[in-house]
Structure 1
Amino acid sequence: MFALHRLSRVIALVLSPVLRRQGERMKTAIPWLPPAKLPWRGTVDGPDPFRMLVLGDSTAAGVGVKDPEHGLGGNLARVLADRTGRGVRWLALGQAGATSKDLRARFLPKAVEDEYDVVFLSIGANDTLAFRSRAAFREDFRAVLTSLRDRSPEARIVVANLPVFSWFTVMPNPLRWVLSLHAENLQHAAHREVARDPGAHMSPPPPTYSAKFFARDRFHPSEEGYRDWADFALEKAAHLWP
């Protein structure tokens, strides 16, 4: 069966005049939100605590919330502690707008300074928005995943599903549709890399985004959105913690 998503960049090129205009309008339509306040680290008390790294883009930086405890890192830590009965010491690294290339060049060196038991990787959303090629994304994604595994050979690695752009109603069509196609294209590349690592897991897309999932920019998660995401992502990766 022919996979339309493999032609996502060709379709984007054909529609580029329209997509460019819509993209420019989106820059003014979506308000800028700051990252969560520093430091992006925390602790959930409990025995034999996990060492957890959250590496990624604006979601790792907690854009959409003020307190990092209410962002991705804090919520993942609480869910992990609840599911396992163990404590968690977590650190988040990343930056809004970071592509896989940026993470590889700017944040991976810091990420591999220490060894971790759990790594949560949120990567690919900005590669999608930039319409980076599948091959370029796959190369950078593989390098990030390989380096993390080399530094933390026993770690459980959870890779977030790319955003479901078709549910981002703040975006007009055809931009929303083409981004959904390209996200699917990159998602397939990520799945192939994750499948090579038996200690890694890629979350499936969520069943839906709740009515309160988005922050006021209608693009990044809210406190409720981060909570729902963490709960779903680690529930689907429960087999990693027997």
Structure 2
Amino acid sequence: MRRGQRGGDHSTPIGVIHQLVLRWGDAECATTRRSVQRWLDGVAFVDVQARTFADFWQAQNKAALVAEGPLWVVLGDSTAQGVGASSPLHGYVGQVLAGLAPRSTRPWRVLNLSRSGAQAREVLTRQLPLLHELDQEPDLVTCGVGSNDILGTLPRRFHSTLRQLIERLPRSSVVLDLPLPDGLWTIGGLCSPYVAGVNRTIHTAAARRGLPVAEVSRHFARPWRGQFAADRFHPNDVGYRHQADAVLAALPRTALQDQ
């Protein structure tokens, strides 16, 4: 064993792993261990949230279908569920709903068809057909999806699916673009050009239909500190407030008029 070497050959993968295991016990790594543990705890907490928030919206959906008032149908993924917020109603949907309340003499009904983990293909093939099966025309539809496709769907298919989805949305729809992860995580800067290209597809397809786009990319942006939940992926109440601001700014006049 060479002097100063704790064990293992540094030049081999096994040696590197051995050194990492030893360093994990060092006092100098205590901060890293705590950070990783907090992140793991945050992921576990958000995973539980995804289930409880889904139960909340299912109950709300049943009530919305038998109530009266203007109808808002929500399509999308975990951000539409509000995962990461302190409660389902502190996600962007709940915060937009609070913004609409003073402008209407009747309470808005929310039919939230989103699902945590959904990709664009699921919104197109599962959520959108549920919307089309409704026996009433919604006064507002919002559609925000794509974050789960960035690393999970081949680019050509992703862009094609987004165009198909936007082409089939009702005329009362608002489309959400994606936040640019510049300066976020280790690979945020590398992903940002790709996400910017996805946003161009969203804006172009929406413009072809004459649909407004909620510019989440502009409202929910750097500096990121204080805008994320414990899993460092989903927004917290503050992050969702910025997303809600983007949606409220994009709402058509018909949604803003007294219902």
Per the normalisation by structure 2, the TM-score is 0.67
Q: Find the partner of 1:165 among 181, 186, 198.
A: 181
Give the CA deviation at 1:213: 1.8
Instruction: Give 2:236's aligned residue.
Output: 222
User: Quick one: distance in 2 between partners of 1:104 and 1:37?
Assistant: 19
Amino acid at match of 1:160: L
Is 1:234 the equivalent of 2:248? Answer: yes
Q: Find the partner of 2:113 among 80, 85, 93.
A: 93
| Other structure's SS at 2:149 match | helix
Amino acid at match of 2:116: A
Give the CA deviation at 1:64: 0.9
Question: Are residues 49 and 191 of structure 1, via their aligned partners in 2, closer, same or farther at CA, if it must alter by over 3 Å?
Answer: same
Instruction: Give 1:148's aligned residue.
Output: 169
| Other structure's SS at 1:166 match | coil
| Other structure's SS at 1:233 match | helix
Instruction: Give 2:142's aligned residue.
Output: 120
| Unpaired stretches in structure 1, ≥5 consecutive residues | 1-24
Amino acid at match of 2:213: M
Amino acid at match of 2:138: Y
Question: Is the deviation greater in 177-186 or in 82-91?
Answer: 82-91
User: Quick one: distance in 2 between partners of 1:37 and 1:163?
Assistant: 23
CA distances 1:60-108 after superposition (whole Å, capped 9, x unpaired): 1221136322223222211122355653100212223222112222322
Give the structure with the larger helix fraction. 2
User: Quick one: distance in 2 between partners of 1:230 and 1:79?
Assistant: 9
Tell me, yes or no, if the aligned pair for 1:51 and 1:116 is still in contact at 8 Å: yes
Instruction: Give 1:38's aligned residue.
Output: 55
Tell me, yes or no, if the aligned pair for 1:37 and 1:66 is still in contact at 8 Å: no
For the pair shown, which has the larger CA radius of gyration, 1 or 2? 2
Instruction: Give 2:85's aligned residue.
Output: 65
Instruction: Give 1:176's aligned residue.
Output: 188
Amino acid at match of 1:214: F
| Other structure's SS at 2:81 match | coil
Instruction: Give 2:206's aligned residue.
Output: 194
Amino acid at match of 2:175: V
| Unpaired stretches in structure 2, ≥5 consecutive residues | 1-35
| Other structure's SS at 1:60 match | helix
Tell me, yes or no, if the aligned pair for 1:38 and 1:68 is still in contact at 8 Å: no
CA distances 1:126-178 after superposition (whole Å, capped 9, x unpaired): 22232531x422322233223332xxx4x2x111120221142xx11xx2122
Tell me, yes or no, if the aligned pair for 1:57 and 1:97 is still in contact at 8 Å: yes
Amino acid at match of 1:213: Q
Which runs of structure 2 are paired with 1:76-91 in the superposition (5 Å)? 76-83=96-103, 87-91=107-111
Instruction: Give 2:130's aligned residue.
Output: 110
Tell me, yes or no, if the aligned pair for 1:99 and 1:124 is still in contact at 8 Å: yes
Using the aligned pairs only, state the percent identity.
29
Per the normalisation by structure 1, the TM-score is 0.71
User: Quick one: distance in 2 between partners of 1:217 and 1:137?
Assistant: 25
Question: Are residues 83 and 227 of structure 1, via their aligned partners in 2, closer, same or farther at CA, if it must alter by over 3 Å?
Answer: farther
Amino acid at match of 1:139: S
Instruction: Give 1:203's aligned residue.
Output: 214
Question: Are residues 164 and 82 of structure 1, via their aligned partners in 2, closer, same or farther at CA, if it must alter by over 3 Å?
Answer: farther
Amino acid at match of 1:104: L
Which runs of structure 2 are paired with 1:11-50 in the superposition (5 Å)? 31-32=43-44, 33-34=46-47, 35=50, 36-40=53-57, 41=60, 49-50=69-70
